[in-house]
């Protein structure tokens, strides 16, 4: 049987590896997209339904740990999957990631307490850490560099679709008392099972890419020190607002994290090529600049994605499901930006201009969003969302391609995982800092809006505390709710000014990236 494949030599020292024809790429991509859809959908669907889940399991006060446990394991596992896939191949690691995610999902659906749910979410995170980064790495394995942006547009489409469907499905299940004899919220996790099984089947049958095993030691000490560095830092990022940023618990986390980070750098320097994150990669200026830019984009991106629904729900009064649908302009912007970027990169082999313009557009969109008022016409935030999305589409995957192209193909897994890892760290930090600023300025802004409107706070019978539960705002007459809505909007505006500054800094940093032109695919050859 004769098959047509395309091959390309990587950087010096790399063995020649095959690229696959379009039809086979699409088949493999279908399995990868289902795997990525699992992780992307889970983030949005759980966020929408968490309050219902917490009420049912009598654990509203500890609901943050359900997110924290998932985030810790997913973040730590990202570089580990990347390194192990370079050694053992992508297929077994991707199948492992999907399997662990499915086991965690089933376990979550059986949880009888919030503590159990947090533990099972940690198991989910063990799989989630490989779903996105390994999928992008596999695309890098089977697609020529100049074509990757075009195919990675499918990944962005998955992200956009899940961002819209997640709140809708989450709201639907959360609103059901039961379905097929099972509590409605438990289907938030059970819905992953058929998708995951289909992804396992397609990947197992179709993902057959030759792999040349690398005989490296496994950097277990590096993994342990990375966990020591990240676990306390992620804990304080997620819990710092409740603990207090200078509390004893926070200070202990800072200290342990610093010790872990120092140990990790020393261990990685000693491990050389076998390191979990080989430090030699950072000596490449293109790699380093792209990593820093990706980190900054993560800060701005996840901050915006978190705060826009807050504005739509708390200020404009929409339900979580409606807010998810109203976020569609951002997703459409991402898809359009990715399509333009993919075609431009494929046609020219150049990519630097796209993240420079993309981050500038994110900055512009955030700056415009900082001008919205509590009673702005709906079209205004929707247009600004589209601008932010257009910018994200121009830089999200392009920076990953820059990282992949900067190093040898034998490091494809660890390079891609590094880009995902630092962007995720940036996103986690961005959400924590932005929410901290939002709530730390909220009381003062509400007090100021009361004074400007000439209303005494005691004259408004709220029946609730906006720092704990904002639902009472929807029950108040507009004139009584107005000071709260103005104050909340002012706090959101402050955060978006900061997001605009971070995105602008990312644009400036990206200008210093040395562009390595992407090689075109070489002529096809027939192999029997």
DSSP secondary structure of 370-399: TT--TT--THHHHHHHHHHHHHHHHHHHHH
Q: What's the mean pLDDT in 362-375?
A: 94
Residue 458 is predicted with a pLDDT of: 60
- 486 vs 439: CA distance, rounded Å: 14
Q: Tell whether the torsion through CA atoms of 77, 79, 80 and 82 is positive or negative.
A: positive
Residue 335 main-chain phi, psi, to 5 deg: -65, -45
Among the listed residues 212, 41, 208, the one whose alpha carbon sits nearest the alpha carbon of residue 138 = 208
Of residues 9, 1, 6, the one with CA closest to residue 523: 6
CA–CA separation, 60 vs 69, rounded Å?
A: 16
The predicted pLDDT at position 499 comes to: 93
Residue matched to tokens 């108040």: 476
On the question of pLDDT at 526 being above 50, the answer is no
Q: Which pLDDT band, with edges at 50, 70 and 90, does 523 fall under? A: very low
Which architecture characterizes domain 281-523 according to CATH?
A: Up-down Bundle (1.20)
258 pLDDT higher than 90: yes
Q: What is the mean pLDDT of residues 239-264?
A: 89
* Both tokens assigned to 511: 């200008």
More confident residue, 171 or 433: 433
d(C-alpha 365, C-alpha 133), whole Å: 27
Tens of pLDDT, residue by residue over 414-437, are 888 888 888 888 887 887 788 788
Residue 450 has pLDDT above 50, yes or no: yes
- The percent of residues in the chain predicted with pLDDT above 70, rounded, is 87
DSSP 305-348: HHHHHHIIIIIS---HHHHHHHTHHHHHHHHHHHHHHHHHHHHH
Long-range contact pairs involving 115-118 (C-beta distance under 8 Å, separation at least 24): 115/59, 115/62, 115/65, 117/53, 117/57, 117/59, 117/66, 118/62, 118/65, 118/66, 118/68, 118/69
Q: How far is CA 55 from CA 60, 69, 162, 167, 318, in A?
A: 6, 19, 25, 18, 21
pLDDT for residue 332 is more than 70: yes
Query: What's the chain's average pLDDT?
Result: 81
- pLDDT (average), residues 314-340: 83
In tens, the pLDDT along 451-499 reads: 887 766 665 555 555 655 566 666 677 777 788 889 889 999 999 999 9
Each residue's pLDDT tens digit, 103-158: 999 999 999 888 899 899 999 999 998 888 888 888 888 888 777 777 766 777 77
Q: What is the pLDDT of residues 264-299, one digit of tens each?
A: 999 989 888 788 888 888 888 899 999 999 999 988
125 contacts: CB under 8 Å, gap ≥ 6:
69, 70, 71, 72, 73, 74, 75, 77, 104
Question: HSE (CB half, 13 Å, CA atoms) of 209?
Answer: 31
Q: CA–CA distance from 156 to each of 30, 233, 445 (Å)?
A: 14, 29, 37
pLDDT score, position 457: 60
Residue 89: which residues within 8 A CB-CB, separation 6 or more?
209, 211, 213
Contact 6, 21 (CB under 8 A): yes
Question: In which band, very low, low, confident or very high, does the pLDDT at 528 lie, cut at 50, 70 and 90?
Answer: very low
d(CA 289, CA 395): 13
Distance (Å, rounded) from C-alpha 200 to C-alpha 229? Answer: 33
Task: Return the H-helix or E-strand segment holding 527.
Answer: strand 525-527
Mean pLDDT, residues 311-335: 82
In the structure encoding, which two tokens stand for residue 130, read together?
Answer: 């490989």
Dist. CA 179–CA 120, nearest whole Å: 22
Reported CATH class of domain 18-210: mainly alpha
Mean pLDDT check: name the lowest of 208-222, 311-325, 486-500.
208-222
Mean pLDDT of 17-30: 74
Provide CATH 1.20.1250.20 ranges for the chain. 18-210, 281-523
pLDDT number for residue 304: 75
Structure tokens at 251: 């200070």
Instruction: Kindly give the pairing relationship between strand 182-183 and strand 525-527.
Output: unpaired
**Gap between the Cα atoms of 317 and 516, Å rounded:** 48
Percentage of residues of the chain with pLDDT beyond 90:
24
pTM of this prediction exceeds 0.85:
no
pLDDT bracket for residue 7 (50, 70, 90):
very low
pLDDT category at 2 given cuts 50, 70, 90 is very low
Q: Please, is 174 exposed, middle or buried when counting C-beta atoms within 10 Å of its C-beta (0-12, 13-18, 19+)? A: buried
For the four alpha carbons of 120, 124, 127 and 133, in that order, the dihedral sign comes to negative
Strands 525-527, 17-19: parallel, antiparallel or unpaired by DSSP? unpaired
Helix 64-88 to helix 114-142 angle (10° resolution) is 30
């Amino acid at each position: 049987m004769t098959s047509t494949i395309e091959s390309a030599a990587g950087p010096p020292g790399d063995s020649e590896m095959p690229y696959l024809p379009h039809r086979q790429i699409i088949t493999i991509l279908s399995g990868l997209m289902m795997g990525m859809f699992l992780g992307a959908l889970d983030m949005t669907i759980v966020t929408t339904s968490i309050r219902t889940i917490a009420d049912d399991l009598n654990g509203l006060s500890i609901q943050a740990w359900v997110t924290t446990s998932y985030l810790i394991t997913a973040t730590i596992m990202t570089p580990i999957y990347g390194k192990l896939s370079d050694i053992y191949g992508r297929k077994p690691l991707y199948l492992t990631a999907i399997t662990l995610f499915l086991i965690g999902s089933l376990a979550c659906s059986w949880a009888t307490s919030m503590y159990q749910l947090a533990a099972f979410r940690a198991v989910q995170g063990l799989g989630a850490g490989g779903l996105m980064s390994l999928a992008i790495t596999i695309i890098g394995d089977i697609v020529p560099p100049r074509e990757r942006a075009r195919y990675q547009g499918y990944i962005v489409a998955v992200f956009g679709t899940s961002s819209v469907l997640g709140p809708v499905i989450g709201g639907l299940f959360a609103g059901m008392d039961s379905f097929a004899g099972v509590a409605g919220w438990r289907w938030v996790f059970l819905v992953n099972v058929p998708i995951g099984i289909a992804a396992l089947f397609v990947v197992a049958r179709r993902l057959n890419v030759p792999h040349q095993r690398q005989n490296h030691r496994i950097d277990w000490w590096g993994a342990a020190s990375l966990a020591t560095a990240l676990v306390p830092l992620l804990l304080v990022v997620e819990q710092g607002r409740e603990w207090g940023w200078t509390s004893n618990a926070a200070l202990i986390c800072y200290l342990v994290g610093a010790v872990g980070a120092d140990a990790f750098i020393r261990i990685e320097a000693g491990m050389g090529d076998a390191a979990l994150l080989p430090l030699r990669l950072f000596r490449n200026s293109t790699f380093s600049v792209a990593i820093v830019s990706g980190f900054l984009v993560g800060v701005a991106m996840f901050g915006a994605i978190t705060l826009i629904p807050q504005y739509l729900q708390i200020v404009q009064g929409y339900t979580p499901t409606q807010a998810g649908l109203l976020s569609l302009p951002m997703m459409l912007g991402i898809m359009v930006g990715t399509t333009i970027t993919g075609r431009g990169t494929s046609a020219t082999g150049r990519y630097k201009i796209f993240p420079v313009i993309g981050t500038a557009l994110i900055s512009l969109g955030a700056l415009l969003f900082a001008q919205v008022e509590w009673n702005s016409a709906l079209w205004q935030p929707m247009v600004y969302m589209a601008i932010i999305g257009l910018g994200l589409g121009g830089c999200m995957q392009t920076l990953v391609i820059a990282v992949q192209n900067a190093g040898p193909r034998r490091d494809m897994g660890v390079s891609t995982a590094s880009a995902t890892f630092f962007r995720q760290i940036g996103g986690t930090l961005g959400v924590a800092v932005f929410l901290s600023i939002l709530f730390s300025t909220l009381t003062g802004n509400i007090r100021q809006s009361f004074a400007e409107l000439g209303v005494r706070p005691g004259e408004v019978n709220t029946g609730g505390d906006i720092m704990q539960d904002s639902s009472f705002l929807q029950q108040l007459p507009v004139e009584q709710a107005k000071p709260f809505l103005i104050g909340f909007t002012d706090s959101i505006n402050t955060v978006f000014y900061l997001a605009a500054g971070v995105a602008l800094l990312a644009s400036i940093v990206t200008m210093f990236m040395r562009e390595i032109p992407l090689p075109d695919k070489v002529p096809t050859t027939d192999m029997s």
